[in-house]
Structure 1
Amino acid sequence: MMVSEKIKDFLTKLLIVIFLFFIGYYFLMGSSTQTPEEFDKEFIEKFDACVERAKNRCDEGISETACTDYAMNRCETFLGTKENPIIK
């Protein structure tokens, strides 16, 4: 009787340790951690790509300045600004 209780207790503790390990692993590896410099660089790349795509949608008769303003406003709506990004 004593041996089966020890085995049961051991298996319970082992399952708890395995469960906690996988929960910790999920939270540590599941998050995409970035330094502020990496985040800024990625944001600028995404913002610049967004502006270029938005510029391609400008009409033929619109001036370059108006097209750039339109593109910047459109991208700020979706991505925010570098100082105040919209985090997704």
Structure 2
Amino acid sequence: MLKSRIIVDTLLRERNISVTPEEVEGQYQKIADEQGITVDEVKKHYDDPRNKEYLVDETKENKLYEELYKEVKVSKGDKVAFADLFKGNN
């Protein structure tokens, strides 16, 4: 888990991914729609700086993943038995 966190943080810095106030507002609206509550109720929850920081971090990570998914090229590989995937990975 720590390794993946370090990788994500490094990619966020290298790609200079940030979140605008407009994107935060968009997240408030999305959460309100999903939860069936008002935007003001959502904003009240995110008045706590820790909660808002979590939302901003999550939004940055989602932007990173979207970028990475656009760059990924999937190709078919050789068929491998499930048990063979774990051989030698002690």
TM-score normalised by the chain length of structure 2: 0.30
Higher RCO (CA 8 Å, separation ≥ 6 residues): 2
Larger Rg: 1
TM-score normalised by the chain length of structure 1: 0.30
